[in-house]
Amino acid sequence: MSSGQESVFPEYETETSQTAKLLRKFKETPFVPIGMAGFAVLVGYGLYKLKHRGDMKMSLHLIHVRVAAQGFVVGALTCGVLYSMFQEHVMKPKE
């Protein structure tokens, strides 16, 4: 791109590193990575507890882990939507 032309997306071209882009996304939507991390933690915990489940059937154990992980993700996304609505409608000054 020549120096005489203006960029169509200047905010995306100034951030060249992947880390800067990732941090910007985390600041825009903080509850998505929280939901993803919670999902990973719950799945890891479920796999750990799989060995010590006692006489519970494997299918029932997996269903419980899946429901817990999905519930955490849905809860985190719901909190994110409520947070963005709060930021947009309450914190934003009226014009």
Asked if the structure places residue 10 within a domain, the reply is no
Q: Total structural domains in the chain?
A: 1
User: Residue 39: which domain range?
Assistant: 15-46+63-91
- pLDDT over 80 at 66, yes or no: yes
| The predicted structure's pLDDT at residue 4 | 57
pLDDT at 73: 85
Q: Which residues, at least 6 apart from 45, have a Cβ–Cβ distance to it below 8 Å?
A: 65
Report yes or no: 8 and 2 within 8 Å, Cβ to Cβ. no
Average pLDDT over the chain, rounded to an integer? 79
Residues 8-14, mean pLDDT to the nearest whole number:
59
> Which has the higher per-residue pLDDT, 33 or 16?
33
In a domain, 73, yes or no: yes
CA-to-CA distance for 37 and 31, rounded, in angstroms? 10
Inside any domain, residue 38: yes
70 domain residue, yes or no: yes
45 or 8, greater pLDDT: 45
Q: What is the mean pLDDT of residues 26-40?
A: 81
> CB atoms < 10 A from the CB of 33, how many?
13
CB 59 within 8 A of CB 33: no
What is the pLDDT, as a whole number, of residue 12? 56
